[in-house]
């Protein structure tokens, strides 16, 4: 059974579980525990304990650790891609593309010394200067979807932690193995205990995480109905929230389109990644005789 990562330690969870399947064979390859508010509270508490020290760690030291993490991701690139295919089911080539897009965000996070710069403007008014500084918030929570088990977690926690926040990640209970491997590599890179924590579970765990008073901000990617629920719950508890939901994406084909290019592009948009993309083409609209 998978374990939660709390304060740098992998902990067993005495809860009911759900099976994790290899969708190509139907084989059960792992069991994921359905954590509740107690386990969520332990993970948040660990992140809160780590925050004061981590937020005061010089940005160059945070970036050095992020470069180590990036190097480990590159070293384990094929392993991560195979893991995505194993428990999600997308083709290996699509899985490689997912892992590469995730690593690109880690590349971006390595630019923190520039990204986190403030701003000084002298004499904005007579005798008045303006200074802008960026400060970390505290504990940040991330709730990624099932369809990109490596890429979307890498959209979330590298940016948050390099900015000085600590993080609690609740991966999809359907595809949790990618997040677990990322957390293992994160620890191997040398990040302090409690900077990244991982708690498995379903709706109960997600809502406990969003409502927890120590969590200052929430990042979510998933379906539109759940995004609306996450946004409303986070707003109710006074959190900063980014809730990205799915959409209807219309592809418009104009009369002068080169169909030899347009048709394969439409097919890839609609059916690539088994159609499991929030930006997948949903409707193709032909204009005129095309």
Q: What is the pLDDT of residues 9-45, one digit of tens each?
A: 999 999 999 999 999 999 999 999 999 999 999 999 9
Q: Assess whether 235 and 254 both reside in one domain.
A: no
103 lies in the same domain as 168: yes
Whether 134 and 162 have beta carbons less than 8 Å apart is answered as no
147 in the same domain as 28: yes
Asked whether residue 127 is assigned to any structural domain, the reply reads: no
In this structure, the answer to whether residues 209 and 260 fall within a common structural domain is no
pLDDT beyond 90 at 278: no
- Number of separate domains in the chain: 2
Asked whether residue 124 is domain-assigned, the answer is no
Residues 237 and 267 in one domain: no
Query: How confident is the model over 217-238, as pLDDT tens digits?
Result: 999 999 999 999 999 999 999 9
Active-site annotation holder among 159, 180, 215, 278:
278
Q: Which residues pair with 9 in a beta bridge?
A: 6
Same domain, 156 and 264: no
**pTM for the full model?**
0.93
Residue 126 lies in a domain: no
Are residues 285 and 199 part of one domain?
Answer: no
The reply to whether 110 belongs to the active site is no
Residue from 55, 37, 61 nearest 195 by CA: 55
161: which residues sit within 8 A by CB, 6+ positions away? 54, 62, 66, 167, 191, 195, 196
The CATH number assigned to the domain holding 175 equals 3.40.605.10
Q: Is the pLDDT of residue 248 over 80?
A: no
Same domain? For 98 and 228 the reply is yes
Do 187 and 280 reside in the same domain of the chain? no
| Model confidence at 244: pLDDT above 80 | yes
Statement to judge: residues 149 and 166 lie in one domain = yes
Domain that holds residue 282: 248-290
Q: What share of the chain is helix, strand, coil (3-state, %, to 5)?
A: 45, 20, 35
Do 185 and 284 share a domain, yes or no? no
């Amino acid at each position: 059974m998978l374990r939660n990562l709390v304060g740098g330690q992998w902990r067993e969870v005495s809860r009911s579980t759900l099976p994790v399947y290899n969708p190509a064979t139907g084989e059960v390859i792992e069991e994921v525990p359905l954590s509740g508010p107690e386990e969520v509270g332990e993970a948040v508490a660990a992140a809160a304990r780590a925050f004061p020290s981590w937020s005061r760690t010089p940005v160059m030291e945070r970036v050095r650790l992020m470069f180590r993490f990036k190097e480990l991701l590159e070293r384990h690139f094929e392993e991560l891609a195979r893991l995505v295919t194993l428990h999600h089911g997308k083709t290996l080539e699509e899985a490689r593309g997912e892992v590469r897009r995730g690593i690109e965000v880690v590349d971006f996070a390595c630019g923190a010394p520039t990204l986190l710069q403030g701003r000084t403007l002298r004499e904005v008014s007579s005798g008045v200067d303006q200074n802008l500084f960026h400060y970390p918030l505290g504990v940040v929570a991330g709730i990624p979807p099932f369809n990109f088990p490596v890429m979307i977690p890498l959209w979330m926690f590298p940016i948050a932690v390099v900015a000085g926040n600590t993080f609690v990640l609740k991966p999809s209970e359907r595809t949790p193995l990618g997040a677990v491997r990322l957390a293992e590599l994160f620890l191997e890179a040398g990040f302090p205990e409690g900077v990244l924590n991982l708690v498995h579970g379903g709706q109960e765990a997600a809502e406990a995480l969003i409502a927890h008073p120590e969590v200052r901000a929430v990042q979510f990617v998933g379906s539109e109905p759940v995004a609306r629920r996450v946004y409303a719950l986070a707003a109710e508890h006074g959190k900063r929230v980014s809730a990205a939901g799915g959409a209807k994406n219309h592809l418009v084909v104009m009369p002068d389109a080169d169909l030899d290019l347009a048709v394969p592009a439409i097919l890839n948009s609609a059916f690539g990644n088994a159609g499991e993309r929030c930006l997948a083409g949903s409707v193709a609209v032909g204009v005129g005789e095309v």
